Amino acid sequence: MGKPAHRPYMVNSVTQLHQLLSLPKPVHPLISVINLKDIKPSGKESLVFNFYSIWQEKNVENKLRYGQNYFDFDEGSMIFLFPGQVVSSGNHKQTEYGWGLVFHPDFISTYPLAKKIKDYGFFSYATNEALHLSDSEEKVLNGILENITNEYRSRIDDFSQDVIVTQIELMLHYCDRFYHRQFLTRKSINYDLLTQLETILTDYFNGDKSNESGLPTVQYLADMLNVSPGYLSDMLRTLTGKSAQHHIHNRLIEKAKELISTTSRSVSEIAYSLGFEQPNSFSKLFKNKTNLSPLEFRKSFN
């Protein structure tokens, strides 16, 4: 028998994180800016932060790996963690430069950002899908971080939280823009992923996989490509304007058209062979995509 899996260590508050990293008590109980040079090893193999955190590191030796070891810039890397995400603490090494911005959901709970933050897909990316910054991009984000730091360390008044939340949202807007840039500057690499995706879908529908396992999911494709589902969908939207689910449906309909037009199998048989549990669901999707029912499509070839 192998060693039992270690349970992740739960970190429920910003104050608890400071204690874990041997840092002084935070200035504010719900938000903190951390200098990575100041932290000490936690001694924990894996952690769960029950708050949002954004980390930027500038260290070539200790830089996070991105996809298949491709890098855009040497200036810095960023990762984004949502509450409840399990992360490996790894072996801490002194960094040339780095910071962390951590904030509890309660800090933004009364602001529109509390709902909007779920739209920033990069919070669900894997750590090997880090955002790699150019020098100018790093300066923009460091400027925003400085504004946040100055505000929460200064005298707290009725406007402080509004200003800080506005700055956090501005930072996330810029990160969204920079990720979009990264998708575009890495087009050749991402088109390789797109080619692999198409091959995976072709093999899936041409083999027995759909009959055995049902319809392919975005999670399945992401696992096959060694990326996170959120990263895959955002990458595809940037390159093609279509989501991963849309790509699955397109390939499915292509295969369905082939089976309907070249075989005498019933619509139900085709639906089951493609992974549908209910033929009606297949017919509904087919008509939605082609404006014809499967039988109407078959009749058009007679």
pLDDT in tens, the chain (302 residues): 445 456 788 999 999 999 999 999 999 999 999 998 888 877 777 788 999 999 998 754 444 333 333 434 445 688 899 998 877 655 445 555 789 999 999 999 999 999 999 889 888 887 668 888 888 999 999 999 999 999 988 877 778 899 999 999 999 999 999 998 888 877 777 778 888 898 999 888 888 788 788 889 999 999 999 888 988 988 888 888 888 999 999 999 999 999 999 898 999 999 999 999 899 999 999 999 999 999 999 888 76
Q: Is residue 241 part of a domain?
A: yes
Q: Are 19 and 13 in contact (CB under 8 A)?
A: no
Q: Do 164 and 294 belong to one domain?
A: no
Q: What is the pLDDT of residue 173?
A: 96
Q: Are 100 and 55 in contact (CB under 8 A)?
A: yes
Cα–Cα distance between 277 and 65 in angstroms, integer? Answer: 40
Q: Do 249 and 283 belong to one domain?
A: yes
Q: Are 128 and 66 in contact (CB under 8 A)?
A: yes
| Nearest to 75, CA basis, from 140, 146, 142, 132 | 132
**Which H or E run includes 132?**
strand 131-133
Q: Is residue 2 part of a domain?
A: no
Q: What is the pLDDT of residue 89?
A: 58
Tokens of 67: 């996809």
Q: What is the pLDDT of residue 73?
A: 42
Q: Do 13 and 114 belong to one domain?
A: yes
CB atoms within 10 A of CB 112: 10
Q: Do 181 and 195 belong to one domain?
A: no
Q: Do 180 and 197 belong to one domain?
A: no
* Residues of the domain holding 33: 9-185
Q: Do 172 and 49 belong to one domain?
A: yes
Q: Do 36 and 126 belong to one domain?
A: yes
Q: Do 43 and 176 belong to one domain?
A: yes
Q: Is residue 292 part of a domain?
A: yes
Cα–Cα distance between 63 and 86 in angstroms, integer? Answer: 19
Q: Do 28 and 166 belong to one domain?
A: yes
Q: Do 82 and 111 belong to one domain?
A: yes
Cα separations in angstroms, 282 against 46, 205, 243, 271: 43, 14, 19, 6
Domain boundary (146, 168, 185) is at 185
Tokens of 25: 């008590």
Note every long-range contact of 25-32, with CB atoms under 8 Å and residues 24 or more positions apart, other chains counting.
27/152, 27/153, 28/152, 28/156, 29/104, 30/103, 30/104, 30/106, 30/107, 31/101, 31/102, 31/103, 31/104, 31/107, 31/148, 31/152, 31/164, 32/100, 32/101, 32/102, 32/103, 32/152
CATH number at residue 170: 2.60.120
Q: Is residue 144 part of a domain?
A: yes
| Nearest to 169, CA basis, from 124, 111, 82 | 111
Domain boundary (162, 185, 208) is at 185
Cα separations in angstroms, 201 against 39, 184, 218, 248: 45, 24, 11, 7
Q: Do 172 and 198 belong to one domain?
A: no
CATH number at residue 224: 1.10.10.60
pTM: 0.72
Q: Is residue 237 part of a domain?
A: yes
Rg (CA), the chain: 24
Q: What is the pLDDT of residue 63?
A: 42
Angle subtended at Cα 192 by Cα 187 and Cα 197, rounded to the nearest 5 degrees:
120
- The structural domain count of the chain equals 2
Cα–Cα distance between 144 and 175 in angstroms, integer? Answer: 12
